[in-house]
Amino acid sequence: MDEVKMAAAAGHYTVLLFSVTDRQLFPVSTWAFEQAQGSRASVLRRNVGSLVMGRDGVVRRIDGIDRIGPVNKKFPRIILDLMFGLVRISVRFSHPLPYSTDDLRKLIIGYLESDDSQQNMELEDADDMATAVARLHSAATNQELFEAFVLPSPDDALDLL
């Protein structure tokens, strides 16, 4: 990774997003909680109520999203941001939700039944899926459930809500 990417990734990491609107699991960069694309209504509809699992195994719900303003401050970039619906946001999360390891394992496996989730998580064939499910079944903690996946770096994960 070059120095620019390393500096950009500093402080950001990849988490799991359980989208409740389309029942998909996504690896998401924490950058995604700072910017969104689309109308306010569509961003809220797509994301409020979704669950986020951090690398520590803690699960929180997205309770709200507030628009802060344009992503860029300079005039030509602001116009492009407006054209593409790109805005800076602030995401409000719930307190940690009390998921047991067994309940969280069932939730993850349920989400992985979707072909879209398998593609999002880069489980390309039945062997990849079987390996992931075996790792999930052998996990003893919520953190080990998170570690069952090989997740992309923050600069390769979804970075917009």
pLDDT tens-digit profile, the chain (161 residues): 333 333 345 688 999 999 999 999 999 999 889 888 777 777 788 889 999 999 999 999 999 988 876 666 667 766 665 666 667 788 999 999 999 999 999 999 999 999 999 998 998 888 999 999 999 999 999 999 999 998 998 888 877 77
CA distance 148 to 122: 13
Residue 150 CA to residue 131 CA, distance in Å, equals 11
- Which pLDDT belongs to residue 72? 62
Q: How far apart, in Å, do the first and last CA atoms of the chain sit?
A: 25
pLDDT of residue 45: 85
Residue 88's pLDDT is 79
At residue 4, the pLDDT reads 36
Q: In this predicted structure, what is the pLDDT of residue 131?
A: 93
109 CB neighbour count, 10 Å cutoff: 15
Quote the pLDDT of residue 77: 66
Q: Taking the model in full, what pTM does it have?
A: 0.83
What pLDDT, on a 0 to 100 scale, did the predictor assign at position 138? 96
> For position 3, what pLDDT does the model report?
38
